[in-house]
Copies of this chain bind each other. A is one copy, B any other.
């Protein structure tokens, strides 16, 4: 017997309304494979259309709103999330199978509220506006809000990158833009619960009701239509390369700025002198990093690079053992697991050898065995495209180059990445080699690391969570780090000979 479940409402124009739905979906618990007993709508275009019109009104109202109110909203929202933390963490745990503690409660939620508060401080101080005054020429310039921002959140961070609470959201709001959030369907209820908290905070701060709006799911055609609508200012997207490139094409064609974080293998180089001392230690660090959270991080290391030799063979043995010993956890969904498996199959077909893992784990939850692949530098160079297919999950592929020259060639053939890391001897014995390899790696990555795994992404003004295409859509921007991330959602504006009483106050004088 089927229980009647009310379909969740979409949040448009400050109200929770019936969606003009073309269908529904029911999230499940990926740790058990069981439905969670909730039903969410797939919106038709009319939902988007209503949200867009309300967002334009909100954008105009926000232009006249003191930044202080925006800061109050962001801070009140952080507080509301903390007040509802238990329920939100429980919801996210059920929908994602990510551990409630420490991950969701003690790491991701505090990171999210910290981000909102840093955005509040930036809104209050106006640091992102970068005012320039040229009194001699009567010219002034600053950055200004760009207009309604559509934010697509990914599946892997239900809080910190959520369209209705994450980094893109905080950055867009801090600059005075309304946000239309496209929640990720895999954590729809978590998103709903967070949106409710945002709604309470909007009331506390007295901001326009349509400053934040949210829908759950759209077909591809409506997604493309949304990011190219004349009413929007810009788009923030975190997710897969396939989905990202479709949206990029639509936004580019309409002349709308779109900021995408799409894919990255995050190569880690292990230099030979250091490997002699640290084979075991480094193998364990790598195994920990690439299996943490089932490897479902944008910055998990998917590629290990080394030069052939005894130390490298010792490292590979340690790594094989370490990866094999890492107990797999439930992944975000059956799709996530199936795509990981497909990618691992494809990497083998492209020339990589399976050393451990490579199969679904039977039993409850969508688990996949932690996997290690290996390929020679020579074979990598024969199929560099196919062997750079992203395998999102607890997998790593080691590329063992015959010598330095081959390793350099491998680096030259890498696509753009979020991060690139070099482990080397503490003694300095690898320094000359570092000097030859690092410049090549530097050009390919947004963040260059030494002697630590890239998985953590600190919320710091000096962070770059970005990188050359196809890691992102533009190498000049970061999606993490305030105030830099805010500038994405702004337009440059000059005032030329404008009468003093008509200038924004921070451009007077």
Contact = CB atoms under 8 A, between A and B. Distances in A.
A446 B493 contact: yes
B470 A492 contact: no
Interface residues of A, number: 67
B494 A487 contact: no
A474 interface: yes
Nearest to A475: B491
A249 B253 contact: yes
Contacts of A134: 458, 460-463
A392 interface: no
Interface of A: 60, 63, 132-134, 137, 139-141, 143-144, 146-147, 248-249, 252-257, 416, 419, 434, 438-439, 442-443, 446-452, 454, 458, 460-464, 466, 468-470, 473-478, 481, 484, 487-488, 490-499, 502
A141 B63 CA distance: 31
B462 A494 contact: yes
B255 A137 contact: no
A461 B132 contact: yes
Given A139-B462, A450-B498, 10 more contacts: A60-B439, A141-B461, A141-B463, A438-B502, A446-B494, A449-B497, A450-B497, A450-B499, A475-B491, A478-B494
Contacts of A497: 449-452
SS class, residues of chain A in contact with chain B? mixed
B502 A462 contact: no
Contact of A476 (B492, B498, B502): B492
A469 B146 CA distance: 12
Contacts of A63: 439
Nearest to A498: B450
B60 A473 contact: no
Nearest to A499: B450
A487 B476 contact: yes
A450 B496 CA distance: 7
